[in-house]
Amino acid sequence: SYELTQPPSVSVSPGQTARITCSGDALAEQYAYWYQQKPGQAPVLVIYKDSERPSGIPERFSGSSSGTTVTLAISGVQAEDEAEYYCQSADISGIYVFGTGTKVTVL
């Protein structure tokens, strides 16, 4: 099995940009997906296929990829963006994995 590694926490002031990285060998060949989870709630998709944004997700959420690392950026961070964020990917054999999770704190 493979792993996806994220920083445990990121702190950012309102209006600034938060960047969350996710690293794993499989990301060089497989797409990454990002989910936002607030306490007591199910996860919500915010980015798919590395950089695509689902309908209804604010434009301040963006994704990028470089080699074995993908990055979720939240520009103009708002208080409502405070949450846990997870990256996720899958291998071609049908095995999926979530990243270790990053807690975003808005100062």
Partner 1 sequence: QVQLVQSGAEVKIPGASVKVSCKASGHTFTGYYIHWVRQAPGQGLEWMGRIDPTSGGTDLAQKFQGRVTMTRDTSITTAYLVLSRLRSDDTAVYYCTRWGIVGASNYFDSWGQGVPVTVSS
Interface residues with partner 1 (CB under 8 A) are 1, 33, 35, 37, 42-43, 45, 48-49, 54, 84, 86, 88, 93-101
In the complex with partner 1, which residue's Cβ is closer, 14 or 54?
Answer: 54
d(CA 22, CA 71): 6
- Least distance (Å) from partner 1 to the CB of residue 97? 6
d(CA 27, CA 20): 15
- Least distance (Å) from partner 1 to the CB of residue 94? 4
- Least distance (Å) from partner 1 to the CB of residue 78? 23
Which residue shows structure tokens 């049908």? 94
In the complex with partner 1, which residue's Cβ is closer, 16 or 100?
Answer: 100
d(CA 103, CA 90): 22
d(CA 62, CA 50): 9
